Amino acid sequence: MRRLPVYLLIDTSGSMRGEPIESVKVGLETMLSSLRQDPFALESVSISIITFDKEVKQILPLTPLDELQLPEITTPESGPTHTGLALKLLCDRIDSEVIRSTPDRKGDWMPILFLMTDGKPSDIQLYREMIPEIKRRKFAAIIACAAGMSAKTEPLKELTDDVYSLDTVDSTAFRSFFKWVSDSIGIGNRSIGATPDLELPPPPPEVNIVI
């Protein structure tokens, strides 16, 4: 069975402390529960989680859904948001974890990237340098979410056309967002091999499309 690699980049900077990050955890549990009810996803989806604040860490290497245990997600009291450094680590992980197709074998499906932030990149120059590197690695979809009223959508639009926003950062909003993520991945399993343009389902009311 070919794998569908799904990379989640989650902003854990100081403003996510408290209820927002706890709500993200609730949302992630919702996503995993939904995906595990999909037999095809259970066989093919592998998930990685990279967190970024003043440090950037891959807290979950690419792991099959049926073996996945959510790691602890922590947030610092304050500090910068190193989104560019997170994209750099993502490129390294993609290069080492994703199996590319060759004339002799079928590799993994094109990966899917979900990036969530509640602010803007502190390392904007590196962030912009990494955008062509990300695009060169041919994702089936890059979906960015600006969470909360302080999140800036303009840098995200430089990375992808698929930018969405959450007005609130409570458990209801994050649960809806991650349930929608799981629906997107489920659709991806069936169509991703045919086209690099993953068709996303309509977002729920809590998730706004950024034009």
- pLDDT 10s digits, 121-142: 999 999 999 999 999 998 999 9
Please tell me the predicted confidence (pLDDT) of residue 202: 83
> Is the model's pLDDT at 193 over the cut of 80?
no
**Range 193-201 average pLDDT:** 62
Q: Tokens in use for 11?
A: 């902003």
Closest CA to 152 of 143, 162, 165, 142: 165
CA dist., res. 1 & res. 21, Å (int)? 34
Closest CA to 3 of 50, 56, 67: 67
Q: Which has the higher per-residue pLDDT, 46 or 78?
A: 46
CA dist., res. 17 & res. 76, Å (int)? 7
Write the CB contacts of 40 (distance below 8 Å, at least 6 apart in sequence).
Answer: 186, 189, 190
Please tell me the predicted confidence (pLDDT) of residue 189: 55
Closest CA to 119 of 79, 158, 72, 74: 79
Please tell me the predicted confidence (pLDDT) of residue 185: 85
The helix/strand/coil state of 96 is: helix
**Range 2-6 average pLDDT:** 91
Strands 112-117 and 4-11, how do they pair? parallel
Please tell me the predicted confidence (pLDDT) of residue 191: 46
**Range 178-188 average pLDDT:** 80
CA distances from 109 to 69, 129, 147, 209 (A): 23, 26, 28, 26
> Is the model's pLDDT at 180 over the cut of 80?
yes
**Range 181-208 average pLDDT:** 70
Q: Which has the higher per-residue pLDDT, 115 or 1?
A: 115
Q: In what order do the strands lie in the sheet with 4-11?
A: 56-64, 45-52, 4-11, 112-117, 141-147, 162-166, 207-209
The answer to whether residues 79 and 13 touch, using CB atoms and an 8 Å cutoff, is yes
> Is the model's pLDDT at 192 over the cut of 70?
no
Write down the mean pLDDT value for the chain.
Answer: 88
Cα Rg of the chain, angstroms: 16
Q: How many CB atoms lie within 10 A of CB 55?
A: 13
Closest CA to 109 of 29, 19, 6: 6
